Amino acid sequence: MFQMTRLAVVALLAAALSAGTASAQTVLRSSDTHPDGYPTVEAVKYFGELLNERTAGRYSVEVYHSAQLGQEADTIEQVRSGVIDLNRVSMAPWNSLVPLTLIPSLPYLFRSPEHARAVMAGPIGDEIAAGFEDHGVVVLGFYDGGARSFYNSKKPVNTVADLAGLKFRVIQSDVFVDMVNALGASATPMPYGEVYSGIETGVIDGAENNFPSYESAQHFEVAKYYSLDEHTIVPEVFVMSKSSWDRLSDEDKAIFKQAARDSMEKQWELWDARVSESRAKVEAAGSEITTPEKQPFIDAMAPVYSKYVNTPELQDLVARIQATEG
């Protein structure tokens, strides 16, 4: 009898322990449109490893890459409503919800990726991040989105005039539509996942993106003319659902913020390496890269600036960004 009781106690203890471990372990779900191995996907995985270490296994992250949870616009709704805990997306699809995100999405605002990093990792980044909180999410950090340029299936683009008559897919944001129109081309907003077939079937002539996206989404196979006009450097944003965030203790919130900060530096390293690799890969596959003179592109953006930078506060924000070193 004594023997059986002891066994029962051991069994009960084991069950309690394993149940305890299971309930203390929270797996956070995160979305990304990019494939496994892409710098943003790897940075969020790294964030998850840091969380796991720093919370003694209480939190970990599962990254649903390759748009497994849907296109960016859908996943933004999922994270806002708390269906998923985390999301890594571009800042541009937030433009209509969070007004200050319009500013870093403006063409030729950042002088270089380093300038964008310095701005977004500093107090201006915090100011822009604050605007997301009214929309169901907390910004954990910003990643580098690299410089975006036009590519198309028809012809090399060396001047603004060469863009005339071409139809480009743009990210779903009015700033992008106005930018393309101001350059004399036409803009079709559509989800990222539809760009390849859009170009292949001739619905659009091309799109605009950085080298890693142009390469990893295979767009180079259907649009071999890449024009290095580098019109925008739109930061990537890594957000957490406010409902998941509000469940964290203050101590855990600090751990999450620091892990995101550390993952940002990791993403910068991964990003720089991937830009060179992707460029080499598309060149080897036959992409023709042209380097137009930028000043005429910059000059054509005046109407976009007057439309969007239309209050003294926004003018001041632009001036502070321009004055930031980097």
207 and 188 Cβ atoms separated by less than 8 Å: no
Q: Which is nearer to ligand GTR, 146 or 255 (CB)?
A: 146
According to CB under 6 A, which one of 75, 87, 90, 101 is a site residue for ligand GTR? 90
According to CB under 6 A, which one of 210, 216, 263, 278 is a site residue for ligand GTR? 210
Question: What order of strands is seen across the sheet that includes strand 288-290?
Answer: 186-189, 167-170, 206-209, 147-152, 225-233, 288-290
Asked if residue 95 binds ligand GTR (CB under 6 A), the reply is no
Paired residues of 31 in beta bridges: 64, 87
Asked if residue 241 binds ligand GTR (CB under 6 A), the reply is no
Q: Which is nearer to ligand GTR, 172 or 241 (CB)?
A: 172
Could you tell me the end-to-end alpha-carbon distance of the chain, in angstroms, rounded to an integer?
A: 76
Which range of residues in 116-124, 208-216, 245-253, 294-302 is near ligand GTR by CB under 6 A? 208-216
Do β-strands 86-90 and 236-241 pair in parallel, antiparallel, or remain unpaired? antiparallel
47 and 259 Cβ atoms separated by less than 8 Å: yes
Asked if residue 87 binds ligand GTR (CB under 6 A), the reply is no
Asked if residue 213 binds ligand GTR (CB under 6 A), the reply is yes
* Cβ neighbours around 306 below 10 Å, total: 9
Render 211-255 in DSSP notation, one character per residue. HHHHHHTTGGGT--EEEEEEEEEPPEEEEEEHHHHHTS-HHHHHH
* Cβ neighbours around 297 below 10 Å, total: 22
Residues whose CB falls within 8 Å of the CB of residue 284, separated by 6 or more in sequence, listed in order: none
Shortest distance in whole angstroms from residue 41 CB to ligand GTR: 10
Asked if residue 72 binds ligand GTR (CB under 6 A), the reply is yes
Question: What order of strands is seen across the sheet that includes strand 137-143?
Answer: 59-64, 26-31, 86-90, 236-241, 137-143
Write out the binding residues for ligand GTR, residues 146-185 only, by CB under 6 A.
171
Total residues in contact with ligand GTR, by rule CB under 6 A: 11
Asked if residue 101 binds ligand GTR (CB under 6 A), the reply is no
Asked if residue 235 binds ligand GTR (CB under 6 A), the reply is no
Write out the binding residues for ligand GTR, residues 30-49 only, by CB under 6 A.
33
Which range of residues in 98-106, 206-214, 271-279, 286-294 is near ligand GTR by CB under 6 A? 206-214
Shortest distance in whole angstroms from residue 229 CB to ligand GTR: 15
Residues whose CB falls within 8 Å of the CB of residue 94, separated by 6 or more in sequence, listed in order: 76, 101, 132, 135, 237
Shortest distance in whole angstroms from residue 34 CB to ligand GTR: 6
Token pair for 145: 């989105």
Asked if residue 63 binds ligand GTR (CB under 6 A), the reply is no
Which range of residues in 113-121, 128-136, 205-213, 263-271 is near ligand GTR by CB under 6 A? 205-213
Q: Which residues bind ligand GTR (CB under 6 A)?
A: 33, 72, 89-90, 145, 171, 192, 209-210, 213, 236
